[in-house]
Structure 1
């Protein structure tokens, strides 16, 4: 080593020594081991739960007595009135909380542990309910946050930890419970199954087959040229070569003939394939049926040829509105994931994509002229929160590198619009207002502050969404205290007008038609606007506005005028169509006559069993509103699949597995509503007094919608897990005709018909559709069910919800793999039996255990 290098090394060592002496905080926060675990729900018979944080100092340094905070997200309200002697909780905003030392905390010495109890509202059932997104901040470095990775969530295993109340009798999804559910399912031979999905109106198989190969050609009516190109590109993925398209007769023909606008016929014989339709949409749906008619393995790679079974199909949808709503506001999905989702929707003939793009926690679409909406509202993190970005929410953590951050540029959005339009899917953007609007409210506050500093007062106030002197106190369901647009302010309508105009311009640039923009209307918390000077001023100017309830009708009256002036119709959540009044001295809500009969569309979600609004969708349809059935009990895909600690998802509206959308009866959904969300059997007179759907009301049911809110969707993989196979139940119910079991009046006969139909359905999705989706468009990471298992007379018996999936097991305590023994028949092996279900690609689901003594 030369002298120059030596001197550099010595200098570096001296610098390190000097810096080491100057380190403010020798403790590495990740040397503190943190655990959290549930103790019990229904704490002291109250609507609260009791849990415990445990902190163990594995550092050589003491955790100081003061000068630090630990932040975390929690989807429950913490009881901060409890007297904590060492550490305490503080609510920041939304679902963000923090732990701070009290004056009684003397520090945590090395190798010492301590517990911190927590009492919070409602209950905690699964892993998604646990505190998340933990990070550490020193008081003297308030902009620097350290993500805490040395954190463990202790699994809940006891009934007292999982059962929500004394009346919660919904069974925990043990292998035995799952086995007993699955017992009704018959294993149906694949050749006996309908080979097109969703179920066609008329379907007949014939003896012929057609061989798709490199020599396949396509011909099409000129009106179906785009569909012919689409089909050619799809077959290229299968065959490795795109079939040629010509005007002369091809082996696949797309013919035009008079029929309903989305109807088609599909004929497959040894001489060729003929798809007939009157519109490009009908031809497109015929192509989708052809794709599901093909073997699932056709999508696994380039095939020399593919045998297509002979069929004669005549088909048309039950509902013209077959929708799926994706929330990308609470947690973001990339443009690429959205495009793949559109392909999955198109395959199953879903034709409306409700794009939930704005929320309290995120604004995801670029709006020219209002850059703060995405520059601030499109990302989340700790540093300069509420100035440079929104604060952490829903596990997003201290920096903006997670699913909490992201937005679509105008070019991205145009690409999405075009991609959807080519697949005959309408994209309906949602602008949440006036509640659920914190991303917009805060972004426009940042804009105001910037322009005020520049001396541009009039421009600063142009899009301001809250009165700066408003002293109103409110808290939303999600814990926000500042998330509502002030509808008394003219600038709020200037903002709405600007966003609507820019969206219209974007659609026009994309060359895609726009019929409506979803304008929100969900969950405005009580207390909003009560102490707003803007509200007081509006009251003076408009004596008809007596109280803040009247602001609701004032707001949507003005919004309705805005959208109608643009040639659009008003669309929103159910509250848009409701009016508050009094009945026998108590608050009561009725359909608002102001907007009835004006083509106002409503997503009606609230049919939570036991809340009293189970018939709300029918009341609104009977009153003259256009209703999109969106009930939480059956069609909220973000609801947990089952009552299981490892099944992440919400459950406030019940548990939603694939059976819930499949069993939904659109025009009489109370008919087969047998239990409340706690698993209790409903009284025989439960539906007495509930409003039924009239024939006129039926004409106002425009369709049905599955919804995936994203509070717990922190990755694309998690989104796909919650999406499938639930989407298949939605697709079947939206497209196929009313099944026999839904109209049969005799309950015993109806139950028998349902059991038979359910077996057929799960066989079809287990043996055809999910295997197809394992490969289609790169593969979809759907949920693989857990195995059902029971020990009976010394024998281990196993089943699975989806016939066609493989169950493998071990008897030595090892995790089952694709090489483990396959279950084919009951066995008598003793010990702890681990079971795991695998798909066609060898991807495994969650392992379960049974003990055979």
Structure 2
């Protein structure tokens, strides 16, 4: 039952001016109310005096402004306001509203008994959250109204819009954040400062790079030498000859050349693993007499063709003679895309697959399920896709999941959806044609709410049909379990019960379906990623788990490692490798795990990454670095409230930080990467790596909690994914050799700062050369705002990457192309443009001193 206070809305409507009252149906009245209700979310203070009993709080407010006329037919029974807020809310203060957490981030406001709403009234709801909110991107759209007997309606003021200049989603209801003193940090110990235009100018002036004039290939080859003889004209067309490789294996790379076949220029591609000994290695020789490629394998041949395509595009089809000798530093060069939180479909993934191939990434890790969504069709369990892929207002969750992360009430929009079997097969085929391995991921036993709820719908359907045994076959919870817990994302029901045979039957069925999809694609499944991270404290009071808990000395916390070990052994029996996140994997008994598992290290650099990586390397596992400080591309590019992304691991993961990473000597990164408080802290080599241990590679992650559009995917990935591709392929020449037991501090001289700066400048020039290629691939990469300052009355501006077009305007006038220092007065707005001129950066401002 809802509080009866909403009935006071009818009283308020009666006292509204009669001339303004319009007769309408209850539905039309709710629609009108939703369309005219003012709604603003504002982060007020990240450093407030917290209410008694609450530590580490921040204050956000929701301001509701009621229309001057309340519809007289407005339904009052059961009227509630639902919104999403991702932080824990131990206290919500309001003169008229009461608050209730539904689950996860879904919140409900209802009127207090006896409260009165008046036309034109303004009400401020104080949300006391735990943690901090450093970005407007934390605001979730699509708050909505619900009442009995009518359909829910989105509050119009909370809808997201697309900015026509930037192409990015904007949230007009999220108030600007301007008070740096109160909003940029949590304490005086935090040295983070917003990256204003003036501060960006200083940073970029120190790192300023010139445009590339020579070899533009990215990632950087081991050896690339241009000659001075007459140019090679690819416009003549090519005469292709293949030896030791099928055309299909290099067809996408050939297509990237954009050159007609049947021409005069010989292009010979030869696969010879004796001549080129390293996997994926190649030699490219471009001469006036023809182009010769010798590669270890089809992947190496494709990489050579991609390098040729990049350089040919840069030189507009007339190339200087060129000799390239190249091979990757690491065999695992990955990209992880989270489809669970917010869905991104087949076309977007296929576009990313082509971009991965262009920059020599070779592992696509698809996160196909999480608490907020199930994104892959499993024919034997149709409810997984039918129920688990959609979020809407159904508190019983019989038709959909709760509308987490501002998904909206109606189950529509791009955040909903799933990959059909045909979609997934097409992705695997496209990836395989580009020598990219698809690694499917179904997170378990935690992060499994979508699966649990979908299987509950299946259970109810079969029970109603009198098929109790079939209903229980895939039920993933123990209904007698009275354990109370909250996951890190505030769910109390998101963990598979690891003591039920049904859970393992479910895992087998899902894995079998994916194996079959890979078989249909003609590419066998080799590795299955089980997640295994962030498992909440479930099962303690589950009768089904009593025996298993007793077998583990009464410690319910040991059940997750036992689950991981059992699933990993089951996968191994099917000829599959197990992948998982390092926190769950690290708690297993290595002796009970298969010997060839893969672990993704996602500890923060200053918070345990070295310990986890070295410990799990010493177990003999394949270790992939997924460290957030350089690889979580859902983190903001820079510490600024208008840069999107979560910030729990880093306040800013910019292109330079990713480029400068030293994968082969993790402790050394203390010299160049600060902690989340912008402090330089020492990192010790603990535990010491055993001799001969080496990481398998590096992976970028894009978690999608705040990423609802494909344009945002592109923005958050590019161009910093190019920096990760560079680091995964080419050695960091500024890194000192790994030394057992060494400790590194901020600015440590053993890291060669001169080489790092020179390497960055070379890289930045090559990135600028690649931006037109990204434009052609329809990748809406981030256009970084310019740095700017006013010195002696003159505006000066600069960019991260050379030859970026900068525009400025004075006093809201017309935009003018910046070509050099110019005399100005007053406040100046600036922005950058994409290489193709179609998009701009966000606008930044500088002000001339008042005289």
TM-score (ref. length: structure 1): 0.89
SS at match of 1:319: coil
Whether the 8 Å CA contact 1:597–1:625 is kept in 2: the answer is: no
Shift of residue 693 of structure 1?
3.1
Q: How many residues align?
A: 793
Shift of residue 697 of structure 1?
2.5
Shift of residue 186 of structure 1?
3.2
2:760 corresponds to? 758
Whether the 8 Å CA contact 1:640–1:650 is kept in 2: the answer is: yes
User: Paired residue for 2:617, among 621, 637, 646?
Assistant: 621
Shift of residue 538 of structure 1?
3.8
Shift of residue 18 of structure 1?
8.9
1:307 corresponds to? 318
Whether the 8 Å CA contact 2:340–2:375 is kept in 1: the answer is: yes
Whether the 8 Å CA contact 2:477–2:497 is kept in 1: the answer is: yes
Whether the 8 Å CA contact 2:474–2:505 is kept in 1: the answer is: yes
Cα distance change, pair 186–748 in 1 and its aligned pair in 2 (3 A): farther
> How do 1:246-325 residues align onto structure 2 when only pairs under 5 Å count?
251-257=266-272, 258=274, 259=276, 260-296=278-314, 306-325=317-336
C-alpha distance in 2, partners of 1:384/1:90? 13
SS at match of 2:405: coil
1:147 aligns with 2:143: no
Cα distance change, pair 716–749 in 1 and its aligned pair in 2 (3 A): closer
Whether the 8 Å CA contact 2:280–2:297 is kept in 1: the answer is: yes
Whether the 8 Å CA contact 2:610–2:685 is kept in 1: the answer is: no
User: Paired residue for 2:697, among 686, 699, 703?
Assistant: 703
1:587 corresponds to? none
User: Paired residue for 1:54, among 47, 63, 77?
Assistant: 63
1:572 corresponds to? 580
Instruction: Write the deviation string for residues 172-226 of structure 1: whole angstroms up to 9, x where unpaired.
Output: 01101101110112342431x4321101111111124211125322111152322
Instruction: Write the deviation string for residues 257-288 of structure 1: whole angstroms up to 9, x where unpaired.
Output: 22222111001111211111131111111111
C-alpha distance in 1, partners of 2:41/2:734? 49
Shift of residue 437 of structure 1?
0.4
1:636 corresponds to? 632
SS at match of 2:692: helix
Cα distance change, pair 425–103 in 1 and its aligned pair in 2 (3 A): same
Instruction: Write the deviation string for residues 690-742 of structure 1: whole angstroms up to 9, x where unpaired.
Output: 334333332xx111111111111100000000010111011000111232355
2:484 corresponds to? 473
Shift of residue 575 of structure 1?
2.6
- Residue range with higher mean Cα deviation, 334-343 or 62-71: 62-71
C-alpha distance in 1, partners of 2:311/2:710? 28
1:137 aligns with 2:110: no
1:726 corresponds to? 720
Whether the 8 Å CA contact 2:440–2:529 is kept in 1: the answer is: yes
Runs of 5+ unmatched residues, structure 2: 1-21, 159-172, 740-747
> How do 1:580-595 residues align onto structure 2 when only pairs under 5 Å count?
592-595=589-592
Cα distance change, pair 642–466 in 1 and its aligned pair in 2 (3 A): same
SS at match of 2:225: strand
C-alpha distance in 2, partners of 1:21/1:452? 37
Whether the 8 Å CA contact 2:250–2:301 is kept in 1: the answer is: no
C-alpha distance in 1, partners of 2:676/2:379? 47
Shift of residue 30 of structure 1?
2.1
2:13 corresponds to? none
1:671 aligns with 2:668: yes
C-alpha distance in 2, partners of 1:23/1:343? 48
Cα distance change, pair 194–669 in 1 and its aligned pair in 2 (3 A): farther
1:14 corresponds to? none
> How do 1:498-537 residues align onto structure 2 when only pairs under 5 Å count?
498-526=509-537, 528-537=538-547
User: Paired residue for 1:39, among 37, 40, 44?
Assistant: 44
Whether the 8 Å CA contact 1:136–1:148 is kept in 2: the answer is: yes
2:10 corresponds to? none
SS at match of 1:346: helix
2:167 corresponds to? none
Cα distance change, pair 449–545 in 1 and its aligned pair in 2 (3 A): farther
Instruction: Write the deviation string for residues 563-583 of structure 1: whole angstroms up to 9, x where unpaired.
Output: 01111122111133223xxxx
SS at match of 1:132: coil
C-alpha distance in 1, partners of 2:469/2:759? 64
SS at match of 2:620: coil
User: Paired residue for 2:568, among 556, 560, 569?
Assistant: 560
Cα distance change, pair 830–485 in 1 and its aligned pair in 2 (3 A): same
> How do 1:662-811 residues align onto structure 2 when only pairs under 5 Å count?
662-674=659-671, 676-683=674-681, 686-688=682-684, 690-698=686-694, 701-743=695-737, 747=749, 750-766=752-768, 768-775=769-776, 777=777, 779-811=778-810
- Alpha-carbon RMSD across the aligned residues, in angstroms, is 2.4
User: Paired residue for 1:161, among 168, 183, 204?
Assistant: 183
Runs of 5+ unmatched residues, structure 1: 1-16, 299-305, 580-590
Shift of residue 687 of structure 1?
2.4
Instruction: Write the deviation string for residues 425-447 of structure 1: whole angstroms up to 9, x where unpaired.
Output: 00000011000000111111110
> How do 1:126-525 residues align onto structure 2 when only pairs under 5 Å count?
126-138=135-147, 140-141=148-149, 144-151=151-158, 152-159=173-180, 160-191=182-213, 193-208=214-229, 209-213=231-235, 215-235=237-257, 238-239=258-259, 242-244=260-262, 251-257=266-272, 258=274, 259=276, 260-296=278-314, 306-383=317-394, 386-525=397-536
C-alpha distance in 1, partners of 2:215/2:630? 24
SS at match of 2:128: strand
Instruction: Write the deviation string for residues 649-689 of structure 1: whole angstroms up to 9, x where unpaired.
Output: 01111021112221111121221325543444334xx3246
Cα distance change, pair 32–24 in 1 and its aligned pair in 2 (3 A): closer
Shift of residue 229 of structure 1?
3.5
Shift of residue 110 of structure 1?
1.5
2:743 corresponds to? none
Whether the 8 Å CA contact 1:28–1:59 is kept in 2: the answer is: no
SS at match of 2:391: coil
1:548 corresponds to? 556
C-alpha distance in 1, partners of 2:707/2:440? 20
C-alpha distance in 2, partners of 1:558/1:597? 10
C-alpha distance in 1, partners of 2:254/2:465? 57
Whether the 8 Å CA contact 1:65–1:101 is kept in 2: the answer is: no
C-alpha distance in 1, partners of 2:189/2:332? 38
Shift of residue 228 of structure 1?
4.9
C-alpha distance in 2, partners of 1:22/1:278? 67
Whether the 8 Å CA contact 1:296–1:772 is kept in 2: the answer is: no
1:11 corresponds to? none
1:647 aligns with 2:643: yes
